[in-house]
Amino acid sequence: MGWKKSVCTLFAGAAISAGAAEYTVPEMRTAPVIDGRINEKEWKNALKIGGAGNPVDPRKAEVFLTWDTANLYIAVRSETPPRGRLVTAPKAINIVMDDSVEFWFDPPKASRTVEQAKFGEFQLIASHTGALFQQHHNPGYGLPARKWLADIKAANSVHDGVWEIEIAIPAQAFGYEKLSEGDWKILPVRNFRTEPGRQAPFTPCSSFMDSQSYANFKLRRNAPAVSCSYAGGRLPLRVEAVSPKNENYEFEFRSGNTVDSGKIAGTEASRIFALPAPEKAGRIKITLRNSKKEILLNREFDYKPVPERIWFTPESHITVEQDFENGAGTLSCPQGMKGICRKEIASVPGRTGHTSAGHFKNGSVEYRDAKLAVPGNLSFWVRTDEPLKTGYRRFFASAFRSSGYLGLQEHQGYMLLFLHHFKGGNQNLIINRKPVPGQWTHLSVNLNPKRVEYYLNGVKYAELDLKFELEPEKLGGLVLGGGTFAMDDLVVYDRTLAPNEIKAMAQGESKLSGELSWYPSLNSMVLDITCNPEKLGGSGMLLRITDSQGKQHFSTGVSMKKAFDISAGKKNMKVIHEKIPLGRVLAEGRYFVSLSDRGTKEILLEKEFHVKHYPWLGNRLGRKDRILPPFTPLKAEGQTLSCILRDYKIGNNGMPEEVFAKGRQILASPVALHAVKDGKTTPYPAGKIRITKQTPTVIEYFAETSAADVKGRLEQDGLLRLDIRFKPGEMTPDRVYLDIPVKKEFATLFHAVGEHIRANPAGFIPSGTGTVFKSRSIPQIHISNFIPYLWIGDDECGISYAADWDKGWIHSKERDAVELFRHKNGDVSIRLNLINASFPQTKDREITIALMASPVKPMPEGWRGWSDGYGFKGTRVALCLMSPPYWGSHTGWCSRYPAFHDFTYIRKLAEARDTGRVDSAFIREWLARVDNAPKAEVPWVKSYGLEYASRHVNAAFQRAKALYPYKDHSVLYFYTCDSDGAQGLAEYPVFQDEWNTGVGVFNSYQDYAIWYLDKMLDAGMTGVYDDNTFFRSSYSWATGNAYIDNNGMIQPGFGLWSNREYRKRQLTLMTERGLEPWITVHHTNANILPTLGFATNAMGMEWKYGIHDFQSRFTPDYIRAVCQGLQGGFFPTVLDGIIGGDREKRLWATRTMLACLLPHEIRPTAPRGADSVLLRKVHDTLYDFGIGRNDCVYTAYWNPENPVKSSDSGLLVSTYRRGRKLMIVCGSYTGDILAELKCRGRIVSAKNAETGTVLRIDGDRIIFPVKKHDFALIEAEME
């Protein structure tokens, strides 16, 4: 699936032919002023495109483009939501999740002359905050994506219901000294992050990363300024051409069967088109040509009828708003509805400084034209002056009607939400929580037709299901008041508000901010709170837990003594991070936790939480300490520690001084810590080492030195954990780094991984001497300098560094945390700048890292004979149920069991696999059950329809049945997701704080996933697919997956240890069940060996989708470094990544894919757009040749022992040999050529194994034509 919040996001647009769009961008004689305000006169002579997205989004957006020799100029005007509130992503170091505009540029490469921009494509994201994100993709020379070094000028403003941004990009940024005429590929996008969220390109494309699918933008001199934008409505139905001269233009408009064509003329020629059926969806095509028949604009887009509502923010649903700022005598709503005051309403100070509130003293005001909405919400702040002694206080009500009325009022000891005189009788909701006298309290009521909910200070305290249905048209007008109290900021919405929306309103202006979180796995409350202590009393705070009846179950004081001081300037601020164990287990039920000022009793924060006890929490499945296949018991001989395929000789400093992989020493010199002081580098001293523990699965040792102790732990898969403890003493260095030096003959390839995917570089190690790679070059969302993984090696062996976090490291702006450093003799070091600046070391400083030599394990026995994804014949045939609906779940990507907890569904799938028969009656019964289930149990079905479920269910059973011919050596495995939102899961209400907005396979969710994996295996599954196995930031410090730094800031962890443990538990579970393990890890481009090494199959390349040639997507060195599987001992597969195009184009894309994959022994899987007929033919050809047989010898194209050499290095040639027979696999990364293959020995015969064509032989040479980016399978016989 891949993580959705990627820096390089894929776009799944509608099937409009990519690349067909054409636009003319005129040269501008007078450059626009870049001031953030779009002046129509300044931009009059620019190209203008209105309408973003396909179908066109109803929210208005326009993009302008023009140029001169110095700059490319861009402007965007975009409608803003009510009150102009645009989204700024929290906790992010870059702006990819902000409301923004985004542009991808692919200027003509042939004419670029500025060296740093000669190759690749350029990405710009501009946030409404003014921040820019600049990235240069495919910059050439084998380099990874890097920052786009462009001096871009941008300015923006939000005003009058629009956001406007203007941008000027200099010619040099695109590789030109000056801009001139040319055909560019450009993708302009409006990224709506305000609900409804959407990435909306102005022009079609198949993928953001596929520049060949972008629209064609023709930069031209003396061209008219063409516009295709709005004509009063919300669809771009007006075409216009502006020119200094009278010009004639031909237009054509097509929509369904309607064609409107003709001519327009003049200096400002325009035409407005009419939709034949605006109430229906359709497609529009608009073409404009000049008098020479040249296309000025060619645009095609889909449209839908404009919905009644285009924004879904709470503010967009406001129907009545009263802030009491206009004085007591003139109470009115935004729409101008007047209030009838039955008694003077006084004006008093409001909740915040310099604001007013209305003070009711037995008076009231009625808004006859303002009705409560159903569904809807009414929210407001109240402050009562004193406890109620008699009667009641009514805060609001609907005016009395004989058809029914409702209201909220305070009584002595309780609150009453009453609903009276409705058909079906009276109902009352009595609540034991009410406002505290003298304090501002936020009250909110959700009104549903059959249900009402009461919130106080952002917490839902009560709810009531109704015996009747509320009908808003039968309610009277809104009445405020009936007792003595002050009211402020009343708002009526025409939809119900979600709990988080109510909480944001209620607690957004508290004396403190933050979270009270319930962690069921820890039986603890977790506090993350920021406050100004001067606003709090000096008595501290009190944390209380009560049940729904108000009974107290726990209380404890919260002291400021543990708070971190985060004051800035004159602002005194403290932050508290505290884990408070409850001591005893709460009974199942609904509870409330509050944090109050101990002196004033004012409630500062409170929330509701739920307790439920699950059997899976804390389970021990898969935790047995045992040797797992194919690993072997660890051995220690002296200071040499040995695991499968590798040996680590540990020096007296606690670091490896020699590392052997497959019998080859890969280190150029010992791994060592180095201290730099006054420019002089000194290695850290050695000491004494002793082994402290030895079992078949673990060897631990301790190295004690005068400056830094090292505790080492080698595990069965070859991971060496190093806990380094720097001690106070004589060494006071300016910086400390650790070098892992690798011999130059092994230091060929590298793969670095940061947070997330699709931005992780890989391939040949960059050329040059000194620092050739820096960690800051990887774009990340939450971190900028540190990266948690880096591997270097060749195709057979290597070594990696990994870390879960940067705790203990010291960073600096001058030097990156992780580097690759090439020494003068060609050796390359992974350099970890652990302490990057001088510091006063008054106490121990601990840093934990891991080293892992590779390969992790041997390739699986017989893997070349395996088949995955298509049901092709093989010695092991695997098929996956590729999303939860296939295996019966409809709650979310992170679900783990079928609907209704009914594993009969899984057993029936296994039955179809084992018998070749599908139980149709069961399928009908299952679908009927799903159809009748409530939305909470099957939300996806209720969203997408029963046909959606039926399609998945029937496909799943046919897929299982297809394995019947191979049942004795088949694998039926199912999709799971390691990292995504869990909001749809039934367990989420209990674990919502702990699982938060997204889970990872750590702690309680790991227990949950393992528990249900065991159930699925028990029911008949024989393998599992783990999606989203990349590193992601976790801020869950309470569970040990993040840490709190010395400044009180939570710093993320990345899941090294938890992901690793999860995979190990999976393998243990399968081994204990006697299964031949099958664990697929879908890493996309994060091949992290320490976390994935226990897996069977690694899947990559969910990236760069499209119909374009694979050679333009992935270089051979990238594939070697990331996808081959050799370093992890993985059966290697990739997603086919072919989308769009007709059958002929998909067939060609499949051939280019095979040309890239076959020489690397990688299989496509997860069928999407690839030509399955061709894939089967190629698979069968290789299988029937016997590539999976024990007597078959494979030699890769980069191996000097390869018996076949190509005269063109751009033709990759790998070889399978069985006796005198050869199967030569050729993949083209070059143009059309007459290939000449030189073989070691005399050739008897040769033919194209795909076509049967006999090939020309000349002694030891085979000669045949190969098309650009095509593949060929050559079968030859030698003497």
- Residue 74 CA to residue 760 CA, distance in Å, equals 30
Statement: residue 299 has pLDDT above 90: yes
- Got the DSSP string for 674-709? EEEETTEEEEPPP-EEEEEEE-SSEEEEEEE-SSEE
- CA 649 to chain CA centroid, Å, is 40
Q: What are the start and end residues of each CATH 2.60.40.1190 domain in the chain?
A: 22-303
CATH 2.60.40.1180 in the chain, residue ranges: 1183-1278
Lowest mean pLDDT among 194-198, 816-820, 1250-1254: 194-198
What are the backbone angles phi and psi of residue 420, rounded to the nearest 5°? Answer: -120, 155
Neighbours of 1121 (CB within 10 A): 28
pLDDT of residue 28: 94
Residue 1208: what pLDDT? 96
List pLDDT tens digits, range 1192-1242. Answer: 999 999 999 999 999 999 999 999 999 999 999 999 999 999 999 999 999
Q: What gap in Å lies between CA 436 and CA 602, rounded to an integer? A: 8
Tally Cβ neighbours within 10 Å of residue 624: 12
Lowest pLDDT segment from 319-328, 609-618, 1262-1271:
319-328
CB neighbours of 205 closer than 8 A, spacing ≥ 6?
11, 13, 18, 187, 213, 214, 215
Tally the C-alpha atoms within 13 A of residue 615's C-alpha that lie toward its C-beta.
4
Q: In terms of residues, how long is the chain?
A: 1279
314-507, CATH topology level: Jelly Rolls (2.60.120)
Task: Name every residue whose Cβ is closer than 8 Å to that of residue 690 and which is 6 or more positions away in sequence.
Answer: 701, 702
Longest dimension (CA), the chain: 112
Question: Over 60: is that where the pLDDT of 331 sits?
Answer: no
Nearest to 1088 by CA among 790, 749, 742, 645: 790
Give the least confident one: 9-18, 407-416, 443-452, 1262-1271: 9-18
Separation CA 869–CA 867 (nearest Å): 7
Angle, helix 904-915 to helix 946-961, in steps of 10 degrees: 40
pLDDT in tens, 1018-1049: 999 999 999 999 999 999 999 999 999 988 88
Residue ranges of alpha helices (H) inside 718-846 are none
Backbone angles phi, psi at 616, to 5 degrees: -85, -20
1185 has pLDDT over 70: yes
Task: Please name the fold of domain 512-611.
Answer: Immunoglobulin-like (2.60.40)
Which range among 107-121, 131-145, 305-319, 1153-1167 shows the weakest confidence by mean pLDDT? Answer: 131-145
Tell me: pLDDT of 14 over 60.
Answer: no
C-alpha dist (Å) from residue 471 to 429, 493, 820 = 18, 16, 69
Q: What is the pLDDT of residues 926-953, one digit of tens each?
A: 999 999 999 999 999 999 999 999 999 9
Q: How far apart are CA 928 and CA 948, in angstroms?
A: 13
Give the pLDDT band (50/70/90) at residue 323: confident
% of the chain surpassing 70 pLDDT: 96
Instruction: Compute the average pLDDT of residues 411-428.
Output: 93
Q: Sorting pLDDT into bands at 50, 70 and 90, what band is 690?
A: very high
pLDDT of 150 reads 92
Kindly report the CATH class assigned to 1183-1278.
mainly beta
Sheet containing strand 524-531, edge to edge, reads: 512-519, 524-531, 574-581, 564-565
Q: Which residue in 1214, 1221, 1097, 1208 sits closest to 1155, CA to CA? A: 1214
Q: Is 70 exposed, middle or buried (0-12, 13-18, 19+ CB in 10 A)?
A: middle
Q: What is the pLDDT of residue 821?
A: 98
Give dist(CA 452, CA 429) in Å, integer. Answer: 9
756: closest CA among 1049, 1008, 1000?
A: 1000
Least confident of 311-325, 918-932, 952-966: 311-325
Count how many Cα atoms sit within 13 Å of the Cα of residue 27 in the half-sphere of its side chain.
12
CA distance 201 to 625: 52
* Residue 177 exposed, middle or buried by CB count within 10 Å (0-12, 13-18, 19+): exposed
Tally: H helices and E strands in the chain: 12, 80
The neighbour count for residue 111, using CB atoms within 10 Å, is 12
Residue 159 confidence (pLDDT) above 80 = yes
For residue 448, what pLDDT is reported? 96
Give the integer Cα–Cα distance in Å for 899 and 891.
8
Res. 569: pLDDT tops 90: no
Angle 1137-1141-1147 (CA atoms, 0-180°, nearest 5)?
A: 70
CB 1235 within 8 A of CB 1263: yes
Distance from the first to the final alpha carbon of the chain = 49
- Which ranges in the chain are annotated with CATH 2.70.98.30? 635-854
> Is the per-residue pLDDT at 16 higher than 70?
no
Distances (CA, A) of 348 to 225, 341, 360, 436, 489: 57, 17, 10, 19, 13
List the structure tokens of 696.
């078949």
pLDDT at 151: 94
pLDDT at 171 over 70: yes
Which pLDDT score, from 0 to 100, does residue 96 have?
Answer: 83
- What is the tens place of the pLDDT at every residue in 959-1014? 999 999 999 999 999 999 999 999 999 999 999 999 987 899 999 999 999 999 99
* Range from 504-513, 562-571, 842-851 that averages highest in pLDDT: 842-851
Confidence of residue 659 (pLDDT cuts 50, 70, 90): very high
pLDDT of 1096 higher than 90: yes
Residue 1053 and residue 1020: Cα distance in Å, rounded? 35
Amino acid at 315: E
Backbone angles phi, psi at 926, to 5 degrees: -65, -45
pLDDT of amino acid 4? 33
Distance CA(1031)–CA(1037), nearest Å, equals 16
Amino acid (one-letter) located at 712: G
Given a cut of 80, is residue 98 above it in pLDDT?
A: yes
Name the residue with higher pLDDT: 746 or 332: 746
β pairing state of 414-420 and 405-411: antiparallel
Q: Which H, E and C letters describe 479-505, residue by residue?
A: EECCCEEEEEEEEEECCCCCHHHHHHH
List, in order, residues 6 or more apart from 1205 with CB less than 8 Å away: 1213, 1237, 1238
Nearest to 455 by CA among 544, 348, 382: 382
What per-residue confidence (pLDDT) applies to 1? 42
Neighbours of 420 (CB within 10 A): 14
Residue 1149 · residue 1139 · CB < 8 Å: no
Give the per-residue pLDDT at 508: 63
The answer to whether 686 touches 651, Cβ cutoff 8 Å, is yes
Contact 588, 613 (CB under 8 A): yes
Which CATH fold topology does 635-854 show? Beta-galactosidase; Chain A, domain 5 (2.70.98)
State how far the alpha carbon of 1048 is from the alpha carbons of 308, 529, 530, 1045, 1051, in Å: 47, 11, 10, 5, 9
As its CATH architecture, domain 22-303 has Sandwich (2.60)
Q: What is the pLDDT of residue 92?
A: 59
Task: Say which DSSP state 858 is in.
Answer: P
Range(s) of the chain covered by CATH 2.60.120.200 = 314-507
pLDDT of residue 199: 94
Q: What mean pLDDT do residues 340-346 have?
A: 73
**Closest-CA residue to 335 (of 498, 494, 161, 163):** 494
User: What are the pLDDT digits (tens) for 248-286?
Assistant: 999 999 998 899 999 999 999 999 998 877 788 999 999
**The pLDDT of residue 241 is above 70:** yes
| Cis peptide leading into residue 196 (ω within 30°) | yes
Average pLDDT score over the chain: 92
Alpha carbon of 827 to those of 110, 153, 742, 815: distances in Å?
Answer: 36, 42, 6, 21
pLDDT (average), residues 886-899 = 96
Residues of the chain with CATH 2.60.40.10: 512-611
- Identify the CA nearest to 523 among candidates 554, 488, 499, 557: 554
